[in-house]
């Protein structure tokens, strides 16, 4: 799987940009705030329909413009795909695959598998559970269209249920509570499937992460990942029913996949709460490297890796391990200077200098 080219118009700080990528390593270097990350964001957006930053469509359109266009050429199994995405200020985005418009963004998933790795990901362990849920949802949505559908339906159901809970809580009209049965049933059905799929994902990660973590720590530490449902050992349907009165008082749904978490253990130590900063960052690096390997196994191909200024956050040992692990996949890397690679065996195939929304190919 390879991304061959990217063309963007009126996106972020780029009025127009056209790039041809090497099938291996592509380096984008330059000072901060010049537009390096915007290139990776456009690639990620074209493969997932969402910004890795969680940014709204209209906020990615260049200032003073009403529309933005991204065109990405992808090669997969010797077949070429053209992905076109139109972002609009006042209406939903338009997406076309090989110039045929698609009705749902979910139809885009699976054409290109992307793994995005930024300095913020190194905090995924110590940050709140929302970060860890987002990690698992972004990856599973690319790999499993059933999961993507269940997640969309579940989120819609939670929103509808919360709206009804607020209505009951503010009005005191207990008769409306009977309507909760409908939403409780849907929430339990979609939520249970999401939980089971997440648990399988965590099991698959566990098969990979242990050996990676041992190598990163020189064999000194082990790691284990555990899925923690907010419903505990209780079936979700029972937990939702038991918490109904509490939810009415809180005017919010208190149990379900939107409240779940992932635990990282080193022996009996909960790394999230009691691990050192070094342990937390190493666990996060192990998790991202496991994600790359898991995608390889599931799609029987290599994903495209987007590395956003991560090397500067790692010591030499972890830099070497990361670069050795990705030599066989197409990678787009941003950094402040190519000297970061001088002491590494990592082969650089194409170098781009980024300055103030302009990109120059230097080789």
| pLDDT tier for residue 119 given thresholds of 50, 70 and 90 | confident
Q: What size, in residues, is the chain?
A: 363
Q: What average pLDDT does the segment 265-287 reach?
A: 93
Question: What average pLDDT does the segment 119-131 reach?
Answer: 90
Q: Does pLDDT of 348 surpass 90?
A: no
Look at the alpha carbons of 125, 131, 136, 139 in this order and tell me if their dihedral is positive or negative: negative
Q: What rounded mean pLDDT belongs to the chain?
A: 92
Mean pLDDT of 169-184: 80
Calculate ∠ Cα 172-173-179, nearest 5°: 130
Distance of CA 174 to the CA centre of its chain: 40
Sequence-ordered list of residues with C-beta below 8 angstroms from that of 286, at least 6 positions apart, any chain: 209, 212, 213, 216, 223
Q: Judge contact between 132 and 261, C-beta under 8 A.
A: yes
> Residue 347 has what pLDDT?
80
pLDDT band, very low/low/confident/very high, at 109 (cuts 50, 70, 90): confident
Residue with the two structure tokens 């076309």: 96
pLDDT tens readout for residues 86-101: 999 989 999 999 999 9
List, in sequence order, the alpha helices (H) in the chain.
36-48, 57-60, 129-143, 145-171, 180-216, 236-242, 244-250, 271-274, 277-299, 316-325
pLDDT of 160 strictly over 80 = yes
Tokens of 213: 């973590």
Please identify which residue in the block is written with the tokens 């190493």.
282
pLDDT digits (tens, 9 = 90+) for 209-257: 999 999 999 899 999 999 999 999 999 999 999 999 999 999 999 999 9
CATH of 1-113+302-363, one of 3.40.640.10, 3.40.50.300, 3.60.20.10, 2.40.30.10: 3.40.50.300
Work out whether strand 94-97 and strand 358-361 pair parallel, antiparallel, or are unpaired: unpaired
**pLDDT value of position 174:** 66
The answer on pLDDT for 123 being more than 90 is no
Q: In what order do the strands lie in the sheet with 114-117?
A: 114-117, 304-308, 331-335, 25-29, 350-355, 358-361
| pLDDT attached to residue 186 | 97
- This prediction has a pTM of 0.91
130-158 exposure pattern, b = at least 16 Cβ within 10 A, e = fewer: ebbbebbbbbbbbbbeebbebbebbeebb
**Domains of the chain by residue range:** 1-113+302-363
324's CB contacts (< 8 A; 6+ apart) are 345, 346
**pLDDT-above-90 percentage for the chain:** 74
User: What pLDDT sits at residue 122?
Assistant: 85
In which band, very low, low, confident or very high, does the pLDDT at 342 lie, cut at 50, 70 and 90?
A: low
pLDDT of residue 62: 94
Answer with the residue of higher pLDDT: 71 or 312. 71
* pLDDT above 80 (res 190): yes
Q: What is the mean pLDDT of residues 2-26?
A: 96
- Alpha-carbon distance of 153 to 236, in angstroms, equals 16
């Amino acid at each position: 799987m390879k991304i061959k080219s990217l063309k963007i118009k009126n996106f972020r700080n780029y009025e127009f940009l056209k790039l041809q990528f090497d099938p291996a390593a592509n380096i984008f270097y330059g000072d901060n705030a010049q537009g390096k990350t915007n290139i990776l964001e456009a690639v990620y957006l074209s493969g997932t329909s969402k910004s890795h930053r969680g940014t709204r469509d209209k906020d990615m359109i260049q200032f003073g413009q009403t529309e933005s266009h991204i065109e990405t050429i992808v090669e997969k199994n010797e077949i070429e795909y053209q992905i076109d995405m139109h972002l609009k200020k006042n209406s939903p985005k338009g997406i076309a695959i090989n110039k045929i418009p698609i009705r749902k963004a979910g139809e885009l998933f699976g054409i290109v598998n992307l793994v995005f790795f930024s300095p913020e990901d190194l905090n995924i362990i110590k940050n709140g559970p929302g970060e860890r849920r987002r990690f698992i949802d972004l990856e599973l949505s690319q790999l499993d269209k059933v999961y993507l559908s269940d997640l969309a339906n579940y989120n819609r159901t939670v929103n509808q249920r919360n709206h009804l809970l607020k209505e009951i809580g503010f009005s005191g009209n207990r008769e409306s509570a009977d309507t909760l049965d409908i939403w409780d049933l849907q929430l339990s059905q979609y939520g249970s499937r999401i939980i089971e799929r997440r648990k399988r994902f965590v099991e698959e990660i566990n098969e990979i992460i242990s050996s990676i973590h041992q190598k990163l720590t020189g064999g000194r530490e082990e790691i284990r990942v555990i899925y923690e449902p907010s419903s505990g050992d209780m079936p979700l349907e029972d937990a939702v029913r038991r918490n109904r009165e509490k939810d009415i008082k809180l005017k919010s749904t208190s149990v379900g996949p939107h409240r779940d978490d992932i635990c990282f253990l080193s022996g009996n130590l909960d790394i999230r709460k009691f691990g050192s900063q070094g342990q937390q960052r190493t666990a996060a690096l192990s998790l991202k490297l496991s994600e790359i390997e898991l995608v390889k196994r599931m799609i029987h191909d290599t994903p495209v890796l987007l590395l956003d200024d991560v090397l500067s956050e790692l010591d030499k040992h972890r830099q070497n391990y990361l670069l050795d692990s990705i030599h066989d996949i197409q990678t787009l890397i941003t950094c402040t200077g190519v000297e970061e690679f001088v002491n590494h065996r990592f082969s650089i195939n194409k170098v781009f200098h980024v300055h103030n929304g302009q990109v120059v190919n230097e080789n």
